[in-house]
Each structure stands twice: as structure tokens, then as C-alpha cells.
Structure 1
């Protein structure tokens, strides 16, 4: 039987190995081969989207008019604000109940706030509207977006450190996605 003193005397590597040995088996998950195939095809899909978006963006920059009267302007903005409100409510519920769905909802809420700030500033008329949009973006939307995006990323890193997935000095972007059979076989991911 390990005591608290025994665990405290372990090196970080020994603790990570112990955590992985004690982790429950992940039966029922896709095989490593399936996971790698899905990862490959998703990466190819995203890469193709990036390649297609570059000429599309250049085309829009060259052909779009500087002034355009939009249809459904009210429905567009009310719909966007309903989506933003929904994501913020889900984020508040996830945070209040300490549920993991707070990670994607907070991140999505932050991105929506950045989009809202961008479009508000870019479509505002000079004068009072532009000043209000800039103040709203700089004092409310962008700081809140930073909190909503950075907070969950920080929590993910804390969880990864706590569960021995990364070294406490590591950055989140260096943390590999654990492949299930690494845990089934009780192997340590190569980056640890």
C-alpha cells in the first residue's frame, strides 16, 4: 500500500506512470488505427478548406462592393444575438454546475463575441455609431472573449497536469491527444 509520503517522494515521471496504471480501461473506444484514419481525413478536409478559402478571399476582396444594402438585416442580427445568448447561457450553466461542456461553449461564446465586435465596428457609420462600437468592443466584448477563451484553455492545462498527461512546465499546445490504447496498455505518451 502506497502512503502519501511514498507518493510525495516519487518523481513526476513515476507519478504519471502510476496515474496511467490506475486509470480505468477504456474499453469500447475506437481502435488506434480507426482514430488515426479519422484524424488523417479530418486533417485533409481542413487543409482542403484552407486551400479553397485563400483564392475565395482574394476573389471577394477584388469583387465585393464597398456599400451593400442587405436583406433580412434585423433577422440576421437578432438570430446572431440569440445564438450568442444561447452559448453564454450554456457556458454559465456549465460553469455553475462545473461540467466539462463549459469548455466548448465558453470557447464558442468567445469566438462569437470577437465576430460580433468585428462586424459592429466594420459596419458602423462614422461618428456616434463607430465610437459606441469601438467602446463596446474594447471595453466589453473583447475582454469577455479573452476570458471565455483563455479560461477553458487554462483549465484544460490544469486538468492535463493534474492527470499526469503533461509536465507542469509544459504548454497546452504541446500536449498530445492521448490515444486510447496507450491507456489500455498503460504506456506513457512519448512527449512525457
Structure 2
């Protein structure tokens, strides 16, 4: 499953590089659309749902808060981007810039910061429960791993009994 995941994600990355070039060259600079209102209202409905679920998870102190905070922060960044870019040559530019700078981006930064802190706290607790006494590495260098007291204890003793099972 891991190999399939890696192929799909890496293939998507490679595919998107020329795709962005194609879009840059082929998309019109002006386009009239009939579903403009539906697109924005739909996106904002998804955003308010994400904010609501994130808030609920935070109030209930649920671990699932972490991915919801990341999703909500990401949606807020996307909302700021599209508001500013699409209103750039309009009378709404100042309002979009102010909303992005004073509301959407600070809220996104807060959500992503808190999610990172919660991930770090979760790892620290798992690290301690596994009986590890060495410092927890930074998230950027922490491998995906399974923390169990038995495996850690066996590794420290040089015992490979856990490997034979």
C-alpha cells in the first residue's frame, strides 16, 4: 500500500508541473461564468462547516481536532488567495486585502500553529509512555514510527526477541 501511495503522490507531483505550464499558456485572462455565486457560496459553506467542526472538536478536546484545524487553516488560506486575486482589479480589492490580512490569514496561522503544537504534544506523550528518555526530535526529522515500550526496551537491551515473533 505504501508503494502505491508513493507512486500516486510522486506521479501527481510530476504531472502537475507541465500541467501548470499548460494552464498558464491556455487559460483565458477573462471569462464570464454563470455559476459564480454558487461557487463562492459553496466554498464558504464548506469553510463554515470546517470552522464549526474544528471548534466543536476543540471544545470537546478531541484528537481529531488536529486534522480539522489543518483543513480549516488550509481553506482559509485558499479563501484569502482567491478573494485577493479575483478582486485585485475591482473596487473590492481593499476589502479583500483587509479581510485576508486581518481575519483569514491570522486565523489560518493560529489554527496551523495550534495543530502543530498538538501534534508535538501528542508525540511527546507517546514518547514518554514508550519509556523513551532521549529528547524528541523536531517534527521535520521525526520518522513515521510506532512507539511501544516493549520494542524500545528490547532495542536498548540489544535484544531482538521482538523481531522473532
Same fold, TM-score > 0.5, yes or no: yes
- Mapped to 1, the partners of 2:94 and 2:55 lie a distance apart of 29
Structure of higher RCO (CA pairs closer than 8 Å, 6+ residues apart): 1
Q: How many residues align?
A: 150
Q: Does 1:177 align with 2:144?
A: yes
Aligned-pair Cα RMSD in Å: 2.1
Kindly state the Cα deviation for residue 127 of structure 1 after the two structures are TM-superposed.
5.4
Query: Secondary structure of 1:68's partner?
Result: coil
Please list every run of 5 or more consecutive structure 1 residues that lacks an aligned counterpart in the other structure. 1-37
Query: Secondary structure of 1:187's partner?
Result: helix
Please list every run of 5 or more consecutive structure 2 residues that lacks an aligned counterpart in the other structure. 156-165
- Mapped to 1, the partners of 2:77 and 2:115 lie a distance apart of 16
Residue deviations 1:70-92, cap 9 Å, x none? Answer: 22111111110110011100000
Question: Would the alpha carbon gap of residues 134 and 168 (structure 1) be closer, same or farther in structure 2, given more than 3 Å must change?
Answer: farther
Kindly state the Cα deviation for residue 129 of structure 1 after the two structures are TM-superposed.
0.5
- Mapped to 2, the partners of 1:184 and 1:158 lie a distance apart of 18
Kindly state the Cα deviation for residue 117 of structure 1 after the two structures are TM-superposed.
0.4
The residue aligned with 2:24 is 61
Question: Would the alpha carbon gap of residues 158 and 71 (structure 1) be closer, same or farther in structure 2, given more than 3 Å must change?
Answer: same
